[in-house]
Structure 1
Amino acid sequence: MLKKASFLSSIKGITEEKVIIIEELRSKYKLKDLLIIAEISKSTYHYFIKTRKKRNETKAEEYKLVKEIFDKHKGAYGYPRITIELQNMGYKINKKKVYRIMKENGLYAGKKKRRYNSYKNHLKIEKDNLIAQDFSTTRPFEKLGTDVTMFITNYGRLYFSPIIDFHTREILAYDVSDNPDFGQTKRMLNQLKEKGYDLTNTIIHSDQGWQYKMKWYIDNVEKLKLKQSMSRKGNCLDNSPTENFFGRMKVEMFYGKSFSSLNHLIDEIKRYISYYNNERIVTKLRTSPVKYRENYFKKGAG
């Protein structure tokens, strides 16, 4: 302990290191003697203590904010989205600091797993690949994607079929069913129709699944003035935004979770889609899909 006290005099200048050592030794030595050895005035010492306390309080407050957002989104948000949400709330904080806070406190967002592909194509009808892996967009309703993914549980299987806007990432329509029949595709497309969006010349892209080759589907896509597009056979990268959504969705609300029944899972899927559309930040948009769409058309109307 004496060795540590004498070490104070060897540290050049006024540093926080001296203050830290003084704090450690205060229970054994008089503060007055330690300050003399360290060559620090009492006022300087208290300034460092006050500054350090304030910094620790700020650090604790920042952790609390990050943790609240992390928990609110059930571990789905990584540091980029948490940073955006904090900035949207008015806090001046950068990604580097949020990343450090999360790393130091073991807050890790879920990582995507590969989705289960359950459909094979046997029909001969084909549509041109109008997107050709160019998923870039300049506005909502420019390019849409659709597909079906499976949820396997102890109580059976559920099939989820959405239509996704590639620009906003909004789920414009969807259907959940324990039977992947054509009725599911019909309900999904009818739901999109009921929304009343102007979809003139909007591209809707899918794989070569049998649902998208049925006459009813082709005819109703045309009635909505949509332009149908299909991936090349067996090439999941041709519809990667939709594939990526399935992976993210399962990480955030399915993998590692327990469900008491298929109806419970259906309720959780519906709850997740509402959250995803209305609350979850899309990093590139800096807001949620629905808020972005509403603001986009509000500006256009103005």
Structure 2
Amino acid sequence: MDCGYRMMSEYLKREGYTINHKKVFRIMKSAQLLQTRITRDHSNKKYVKHRKVKTTRPLECIEMDIKMVWIPQKGKNAYLLSIIDVHSRRILKDYFSFNIKQKQVIELLSGLFEELDYPKNVVIRSDNGSQFIAKNVREYLSLVGVSQEFTHIATPEENAHIEAYHGTLKREVFTKFEYFTFGQIEQILKKYVVFYNNKRLHGLLGKITPMEKWEKDKHLICSREKVA
């Protein structure tokens, strides 16, 4: 059970235990069961200036978002974190789990930036989810030289490309494939991402695949060393 010490005190009282919240705090602290508080940093928060993103090359702008995925066996949602390159529509990285917090966001981004020779002026766009506005995430992106911008509240069109991808997943995966367990849909998602990037034609790209668009325009990406 994932809860704070005050809530745990109430659970214990309901079970007939006489114990105050201070003692519960000490016990949970010694057992390392206290929840980690998410520190939200609203200072110098940069919002998107243009709702529609116009790009000239890959890795000019990337978008990330989290989608809930219902798991029948567990009777609860899992979460899919996806990162898309706006220019090519290539899915650069994703992570599927029952629990996605700032730690998992940083780990996914770290893996992505270690794999790619990314330019200095890449921008990453997201909504205002607690995982994305967390201080540690913002500090990490600043450390690796990636600009971060946030969509305005209730404006999914400002994150249109990743929203469109998750909509495609709903139509082509979640409503078409039968699955019961987390492992089953996880394997389906892995295969679909490969198909989406390498086989699925995209009308707005001129009826080519995301990887074909990436390969066609990747020479326009200036590495950090070349820009410096």
TM-score (norm 1): 0.55
Q: CA deviation at 1:142?
A: 1.1
The equivalent residue for 2:56 is 138
Deviation >6 Å, runs of 4+: none
The equivalent residue for 1:292 is 213
In the TM superposition, 1:1-302 aligns within 5 A as 123=40, 125=42, 127-156=45-74, 157-285=77-205, 286-298=207-219
Is the deviation greater in 279-288 or in 239-248?
279-288
- Structure having the larger proportion of residues in strand: 2
SS of the aligned residue for 2:204 comes to coil
- CA gap of 1:182–1:299, structure 2 versus 1, over 3 A, is closer
Q: CA deviation at 1:196?
A: 2.4
- CA gap of 1:224–1:211, structure 2 versus 1, over 3 A, is same
Q: Which ranges of structure 2 fall in alignment gaps of 5 or more residues?
A: 1-37, 223-228
**C-alpha contact (below 8 Å) 1:131/1:229 kept by paired residues:** no
**C-alpha contact (below 8 Å) 2:71/2:180 kept by paired residues:** no
Q: CA deviation at 1:244?
A: 1.4
Q: How big is the alpha-carbon RMSD for the aligned residues of Structure 1 and Structure 2?
A: 2.3
Q: Deviations over 1:95-128 (max 9, x none)?
A: xxxxxxxxxxxxxxxxxxxxxxxxxx99461622
Instruction: Tell me, in whole angstroms, the C-alpha distance in 1 between the residues paired with 2:98 and 2:200.
Output: 27
**C-alpha contact (below 8 Å) 2:58/2:220 kept by paired residues:** no
Identity %: 25
Aligned length: 181
Q: Deviations over 1:172-194 (max 9, x none)?
A: 11111111222321232122122
Higher relative contact order (CA 8 A, sep 6+): 2
- Partner letter of residue 295 of structure 1? K
Instruction: Tell me, in whole angstroms, the C-alpha distance in 2 between the residues paired with 1:226 and 1:148.
Output: 20
Is the deviation greater in 191-200 or in 262-271?
191-200
**C-alpha contact (below 8 Å) 2:58/2:221 kept by paired residues:** no
- Structure having the larger proportion of residues in helix: 1
Structure number with bigger Rg:
1
- CA gap of 1:129–1:250, structure 2 versus 1, over 3 A, is same
**C-alpha contact (below 8 Å) 1:207/1:230 kept by paired residues:** yes
**C-alpha contact (below 8 Å) 2:198/2:209 kept by paired residues:** yes
